[in-house]
């Protein structure tokens, strides 16, 4: 098999059923499926080339198992990630608490990982405003506090989904360029990463 | 003495297999061609030296060939001012050196100055023992093959010779670092990858694809060489962890597809076929030497898993289906030296492949599966702690229902079968234990007879000496002191008549 070369690792994080898989599915396959198999669509790993200026950046998007029984293992997943899309469900306040937890984890363990805070299922709120449990400005404040980008998306309508991943690719391109000019040939993220298994293993 | 030996053979069917073939007195192991670990390592070291010398011969021949080709080209087109590709690279390198202190250069300079100038053609390949066990499935010819392939790959490249020289020198230097800790070894190799790929990046003007194809070949060449030195090294507890996870997986034999919520229906022939293939692939990982090849096994295994899920669910699989199924496959396969393989890949794989790409994704999932298996408790299988304990201790099995309750006659028969099967497994385990104990006893007996034999031998050796030369006794050690005590008893005997001569009676 000829696996596609990937520039950056992007990991999807968030509580079960917030819509991580749907987000990837919408972005990569431009579809949103409802029905008995609705939460099993999409692939676990996708390599997606994105045009950024005159360059093509290939993002490797890592979906994670949603079930809570695997949550402890998520740390192993986000090691070495350049970007994390931390999702919460706009209609579920507990999912926002969970998102805060992931942000803290990332800040502690992965200093080179940029965080993208993503409120999902925006279409539900547009249908019925009373369903909103997370205020836009509260989330925005939190995003600013942690230096993250903030998006509200809908995988059903596709609203803001492309913008989110486009931003991820652009930011990566900028920082990659920055690294190169600052310190030629030194990838700060990498050496530590080579021990990622043994280190996670002891937690 | 002789009769004692043959008697011992009577008890021990394959004593020769138990002791090191080198006769050093330690126990040998079939996995090490019947040698003990010490002799095996020494033997390897020698083979490696031969390989290094062969490399030099190959590299020198290559260099000669290129120079000749260049000279003839040069003669034909004297008017055109051309620079040899090699000197061009050198030029750039020295420029670079002045601007940047490079960790890699320190590896290159000392070893590159000591080329073994021995006549390598006289080296006799036949003399090296032919490997037969699984741990050395690849004969030395394989590493030569890797070198040849590497050289062939590098030939068309502008700086091919330089790359080869650096890789060879680095690999050679690593052989002398075997007492280094595994993390340091890994750091050395990762530093080398990083520096080389940085330089290639400059050379290929940012064509990452090109750089990675070279780095793949570099990894292949180097790790084929270094595998035996750095896989499951003595300085780590990798081996202990291997045994621990193996035991753990064996203890979890009762875990069912339902407990893990694996969306796979093995009744469908194509699904069970994919499951078998996935198991085979993850087991095969251990037989590969190059980290990239090991990763490829995990990726193949993962693709079969995706296929099994897709057919079972008639839908594309997601991460939610994949991880539990991978856990199930690992439990079923109980892959050999699982931890060693994971550690080896983590330490020596090209980092970009491991961290970002598709292979990296599946590898990470395998790490998660292992972590899950290690920490797994009742809760992770939706069982009560009591149930979990019962299953772990073998007092109960999820295959036969506790209560007589809602079971149909068919399932009653089935549970009978399962009960019997569990009983058989239990018996099998006990038998293994008995055999293990018997082996222990056997080797204890060998030790003991050896000891006795040695003692008797030493007494026998000192005894006749002392009788002929009693004055020497005071000078020597304890055994002769004991012997002199016997001598003193024998003083009386000197007055006895000479011993009877054997006489032959005819008839
Ligand atoms: N209306 C609506 N439903 C969504 C959206 N995204 C996800 N869902 C639904 O939320 C449920 C969980 O989605 P999934 O992607 O499997 O969540 P995951 O566990 O985070 O991967 C599914 O039933 C989806 O159909 C969205 O943008 N709008
Ligand atoms: Mg999901
Ligand atoms: Zn030996």
Per-residue model confidence (pLDDT) at position B176: 80
CATH code at B123-230: 1.10.246.120
Q: Closest-lying ligand to the alpha carbon of A38?
A: 1
Q: What is the dihedral sign for C-alpha B303, B308, B310, B316? A: negative
Q: Whose CA is nearest to atom 9 of ligand 1?
A: A19
How many Cβ pairs within 8 Å bridge chains A and B? 140
Per-residue model confidence (pLDDT) at position B94: 40
Instruction: Based on DSSP, count helices (H) and strands (E) in chain B, helices before strands.
Output: 20, 0
Per-residue model confidence (pLDDT) at position B93: 39
What is the ipTM score, two decimals?
0.85
Would the pLDDT of A197 be above 50?
no
Q: Whose CA is nearest to atom 2 of ligand 1?
A: A121
**Residue in A closest to B296 by C-alpha:** A1
Q: Closest-lying ligand to the alpha carbon of B38?
A: 3
Q: Which residues of A touch B185 (CB under 8 A)?
A: none
Tokens of A63: 């979906």
**Residue in B closest to A38 by C-alpha:** B315
Rounded CA-CA distance A72/B230 in Å is: 30
Rounded CA-CA distance B67/B73 in Å is: 10
Nearest to A196, CA basis, from B338, B343, B231: B343
**Is A98 near ligand 1, meaning CB less than 6 Å away?**
no
Rounded CA-CA distance B119/B66 in Å is: 21
> Dihedrals φ, ψ of A7, to 5°?
-85, -45
Nearest CA-CA distance, residue B452 and chain A, Å:
48
Which atom of ligand 1 is nearest to A40's Cα? 16
Give A102 or A185, the one with higher predicted confidence.
A102
- The residue whose two tokens read 């070369």 is A5
Q: Which residues of B touch A41 (CB under 8 A)?
A: 315-316, 318
Which atom of ligand 1 is nearest to A20's Cα? 20
Nearest to B357, CA basis, from A121, A2, A103, A164: A2
Task: List the single residue in A1, A43, A190 with the smallest CB-CB distance to B316.
Answer: A43
Nearest CA-CA distance, residue B162 and chain A, Å:
19
Class of domain B237-393: mainly alpha
Per-residue model confidence (pLDDT) at position B33: 75
Delimit the domains of chain B by residue range.
Answer: 30-107, 123-230, 237-393
Nearest CA-CA distance, residue A162 and chain B, Å:
21
Cβ atoms of B53 and B116 closer than 8 Å? yes
Per-residue model confidence (pLDDT) at position A167: 97
Rounded CA-CA distance B31/B286 in Å is: 14
Give A29 or B193, the one with higher predicted confidence.
B193
- Tens digit of each residue's pLDDT (9 = 90 or more) over B51-104: 666 766 776 676 666 566 656 655 554 444 433 344 334 443 344 333 433 333
Per-residue model confidence (pLDDT) at position A131: 96
Question: In A11-160, which residue ranges form alpha helices assigned H by DSSP?
Answer: 20-29, 74-78, 93-109, 122-127, 136-146
Q: Whose CA is nearest to atom 3 of ligand 1?
A: A121
Interface of A with B in 78-117 (CB under 8 A): 79-80
Per-residue model confidence (pLDDT) at position B5: 45
Q: Which residues of B touch A194 (CB under 8 A)?
A: 186-187, 190, 346-347, 351, 354
What is the 3-class SS of B390-437, one letter each residue?
HHHHCCCCCCCCCCCCCCCHHHHHHHHHHHHHHHHHHHHHHHHHHHHH
Rounded CA-CA distance A45/B502 in Å is: 92
Per-residue model confidence (pLDDT) at position B78: 47
Delimit the domains of chain A by residue range.
Answer: 8-182
Per-residue model confidence (pLDDT) at position B289: 94
CA torsion B41-B44-B48-B54 (nearest 10°) is: 160
The rounded Å distance from CA B233 to ligand 3 centre is: 18
Is A65 in contact with B324 (Cβ distance < 8 A)? yes
Burial pattern B308-322, b for ≥16 Cβ within 10 A else e, equals bbbbbbebbbbbbbb
Per-residue model confidence (pLDDT) at position B216: 93
Task: List the single residue in A6, A37, A186 with the smallest CB-CB distance to B356.
Answer: A6
Nearest CA-CA distance, residue A146 and chain B, Å:
25
Sheet holding A8-14, edge to edge: A45-52, A55-62, A8-14, A83-89, A114-120, A149-152
Q: Which residues of A touch B321 (CB under 8 A)?
A: 40
Is residue A142 very low, low, confident or very high in pLDDT (cuts 50, 70, 90)? very high
**Residue in B closest to A190 by C-alpha:** B351
Q: Domain spanning A8-182: which superfamily?
A: P-loop containing nucleotide triphosphate hydrolases (3.40.50.300)
Per-residue model confidence (pLDDT) at position B233: 87
Mean pLDDT in consecutive groups of 10 residues from the start of chain B, 507 residues: 43 57 75 75 73 68 64 53 40 39 36 39 38 44 83 89 92 83 91 92 81 92 91 89 95 93 94 96 95 96 94 86 95 96 95 84 95 92 91 80 47 69 82 87 86 87 63 47 49 58 60
Is B319 in contact with A3 (Cβ distance < 8 A)? no
A42 CB near a chain B CB, below 8 Å? yes
| Residue of A11, A13, A19 with the most ligand 1 atoms within 8 Å of its CB, for mutation | A19
**Is A126 near ligand 1, meaning CB less than 6 Å away?**
no
Query: Measuring CA to CA, how many Å separate B136 from each of B57, B139, B240?
Result: 25, 7, 21
Q: Which residues of B touch A7 (CB under 8 A)?
A: 208, 356
**Is A95 near ligand 1, meaning CB less than 6 Å away?**
no
- C-alpha angle B253-B257-B263 in degrees, rounded to nearest 5: 155
Is A62 in contact with B361 (Cβ distance < 8 A)? yes
Per-residue model confidence (pLDDT) at position A132: 96
CA A132 and chain centroid, separation:
22
The rounded Å distance from CA B378 to ligand 1 centre is: 29
Question: In B30-139, which residue ranges form alpha helices assigned H by DSSP?
Answer: 37-76, 85-99, 103-112
Cβ atoms of B373 and B248 closer than 8 Å? yes
The rounded Å distance from CA B262 to ligand 3 centre is: 48
A177 CB near a chain B CB, below 8 Å? no
**Residue in B closest to A75 by C-alpha:** B368
SS3 A50: strand
Which atom of ligand 1 is nearest to A41's Cα? 16
Nearest CA-CA distance, residue A131 and chain B, Å:
27
Reported for B131-136, long-range contacts at CB under 8 A and 24+ positions apart, including other chains, are B131/B33, B132/B33, B133/B30, B133/B31, B133/B32, B133/B33, B134/B31, B134/B286, B134/B287, B135/B31, B135/B32, B136/B33, B136/B228
Tokens of B367: 């790490």
Q: A58: exposed, middle or buried (C-beta count within 10 Å: 0-12, 13-18, 19+)?
A: middle
**Residue in A closest to B237 by C-alpha:** A198
Per-residue model confidence (pLDDT) at position B179: 78
Nearest to B220, CA basis, from B279, B296, B280: B296
* Average pLDDT, rounded, for chain A: 83
Strand A114-120 and strand A83-89: pairing? parallel
Strand partners, A49: A58
pTM of the model: 0.66
Rounded CA-CA distance B37/B8 in Å is: 25
Rounded CA-CA distance B473/A180 in Å is: 81
Strand partners, A58: A49
Q: Whose CA is nearest to atom 26 of ligand 1?
A: A121
């Amino acid at each position: 098999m000829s696996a596609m070369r990937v520039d950056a690792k992007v990991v999807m994080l968030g509580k079960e059923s917030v819509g991580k898989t749907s987000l990837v599915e919408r972005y990569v396959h431009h579809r949103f499926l409802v029905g008995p198999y609705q939460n099993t669509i999409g692939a676990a790993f996708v390599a997606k080339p994105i045009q950024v200026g005159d360059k093509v950046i290939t993002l490797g998007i890592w979906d994670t198992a949603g079930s809570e029984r695997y949550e402890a293992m998520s740390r192993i997943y986000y090691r070495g990630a350049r970007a994390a899309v931390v999702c919460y469900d706009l209609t579920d306040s507990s999912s926002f608490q969970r998102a805060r937890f992931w942000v803290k984890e990332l800040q502690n363990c992965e200093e080179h990982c940029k965080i993208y805070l993503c409120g999902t299922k925006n279409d539900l709120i547009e249908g019925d405003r009373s369903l909103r449990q997370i205020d836009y400005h509260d989330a925005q404040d939190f995003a600013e506090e942690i230096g993250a980008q903030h998006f509200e998306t809908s995988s059903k309508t596709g609203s803001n989904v492309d913008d989110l991943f486009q931003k991820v690719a652009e930011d990566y391109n900028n920082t990659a360029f920055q690294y190169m000019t600052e310190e030629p040939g030194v990838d700060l993220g990498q050496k530590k990463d080579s021990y990622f298994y043994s280190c996670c293993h002891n937690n | 003495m002789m009769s004692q030996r043959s008697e011992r053979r009577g008890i021990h069917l394959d004593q020769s297999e138990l002791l090191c073939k080198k006769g050093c007195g330690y126990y040998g192991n079939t996995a090490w061609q019947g040698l003990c670990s010490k002799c095996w390592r020494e033997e390897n070291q020698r083979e490696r030296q031969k390989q290094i010398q062969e490399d030099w011969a190959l590299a020198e021949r290559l260099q000669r060939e290129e120079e000749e080709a260049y000279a003839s080209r040069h003669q034909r087109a004297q008017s055109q001012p051309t620079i040899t590709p090699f000197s061009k690279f050198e030029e750039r390198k020295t420029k670079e050196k002045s601007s940047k202190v490079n960790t890699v250069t320190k590896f290159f300079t000392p070893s590159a100055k000591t080329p073994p100038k021995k006549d390598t053609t006289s080296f006799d390949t036949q003399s090296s023992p032919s490997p037969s066990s699984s741990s050395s499935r690849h004969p030395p010819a394989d590493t030569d093959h890797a070198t040849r392939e590497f050289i062939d790959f590098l030939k068309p490249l502008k700086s091919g010779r330089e790359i080869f020289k650096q890789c060879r020198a680095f690999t050679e230097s690593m052989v002398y670092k075997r007492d280094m800790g595994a993390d340091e070894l890994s750091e050395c190799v990762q530093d080398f990858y990083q520096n080389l790929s940085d330089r290639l990046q400059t050379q290929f003007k940012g064509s990452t694809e090109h750089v990675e194809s070279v780095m793949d070949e570099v990894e292949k060449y180097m790790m084929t060489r270094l595998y035996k030195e750095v896989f499951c090294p003595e300085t780590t507890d990798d081996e202990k962890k291997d045994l621990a996870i193996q035991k753990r997986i064996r203890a979890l034999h009762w875990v069912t597809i339902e407990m893990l919520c694996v969306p796979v229906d093995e009744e469908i022939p194509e699904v069970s076929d994919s499951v078998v293939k996935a198991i085979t692939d993850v087991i095969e990982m251990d037989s590969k030497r190059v980290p990239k090849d090991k990763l490829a096994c995990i990726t193949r295994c993962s693709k079969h898993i995706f296929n099994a899920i897709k057919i079972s669910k008639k839908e594309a699989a997601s991460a939610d289906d994949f991880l539990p199924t991978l856990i199930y496959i690992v439990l079923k396969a109980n892959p050999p030296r699982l931890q060693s393989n994971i550690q080896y890949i983590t330490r020596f794989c090209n980092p970009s492949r491991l961290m970002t790409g598709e292979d990296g994704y599946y590898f990470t999932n395998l790490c998660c599966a292992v972590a899950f298996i290690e920490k797994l408790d009742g809760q992770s299988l939706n069982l009560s702690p009591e149930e979990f304990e019962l299953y772990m201790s073998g007092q109960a099995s999820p295959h036969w229902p506790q209560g007589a309750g809602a079971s149909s006659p068919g399932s009653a028969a089935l549970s009978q079968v399962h009960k019997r099967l569990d009983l058989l497994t239990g018996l099998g385990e006990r038998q293994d234990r008995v055999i293990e104990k018997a082996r222990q006893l056997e080797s204890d007996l060998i030790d003991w007879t050896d000891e006795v034999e040695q003692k008797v031998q030493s007494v026998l050796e000192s005894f006749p000496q002392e009788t002929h030369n009693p004055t020497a006794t005071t000078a020597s050690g304890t055994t002769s002191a004991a012997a002199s005590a016997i001598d003193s008893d024998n003083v009386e005997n000197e007055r006895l008549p000479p011993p009877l001569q054997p006489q032959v009676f005819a008839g």
